[in-house]
Amino acid sequence: MYIPARFNGPPGSGNGGYSAGLFAHGETAEVTLRMPPPLDTPLSVLDCQVRTADDAVVAEVAANAEVDTVVPPIGWADAVEAAKWYAGFADHPFPTCYVCGPDRSDGLGIFPGRLADGSTAAPWTVPDDVSTPTVWAALDCPGGWAVIAAGRPYVLGRIAVRVDRLPAPGQQCVVRGALASAEGRKALVHTTLYASDGAELARARATWIALPG
């Protein structure tokens, strides 16, 4: 397998959610990233580890992970309003991120704005090429933006995802994110993907790591 260059997060490496979804092979699983996922690089899976050709461990995959927390749904119109206040429009550590980068015209265009309770919400119109890794990607950044602050960038360290069903191309969805806890450089977040009628499509639990200042 390999991660095409368009699915980047930070410059030069794969978006954490998309990469993890690719590594999980569509399963309900937990993926721990051990290094920034390399782009356009052949990768192989051996004994639940994703490795490069020179045997560097990129990620570890554990199957059948439990994801037991959801972020409550809100309506599409409320998500659209929240996105107007997306902090990444003014200050984004990785503005070309495939999921939430405002400088991308070919990304997912998910711009999670903060609500009064500190949780995030974003509308998402599902692309034609939707896949399970796409859904993992959509569940990634909205959780991060519940903790990311100006001058305090975070990156994904671990993510567990349960996908109940894929959204249809063109479907209007809402992605919700919330901070569960933070200690030192680590933050635990939850995200949930909903159809426009409020039906749950997928959920995630993730650990984000603050980059050294």
Below-70 pLDDT ranges, the chain: 26, 213
Query: How far is it, in rounded angstroms, from Cα 60 to Cα 48?
Result: 6
Closest CA to 193 of 132, 151, 147: 132
pLDDT value at residue 20: 97
Query: How far is it, in rounded angstroms, from Cα 27 to Cα 116?
Result: 34
**Entry pTM:** 0.96
Query: If you search the block for the tokens 């896949």, which residue do you land on?
Result: 131
pLDDT value at residue 81: 97
pLDDT value at residue 19: 98
pLDDT value at residue 212: 85
Kindly state the helix (H) or strand (E) to which residue 49 belongs, with its residue range.
Answer: strand 49-52
pLDDT value at residue 172: 98
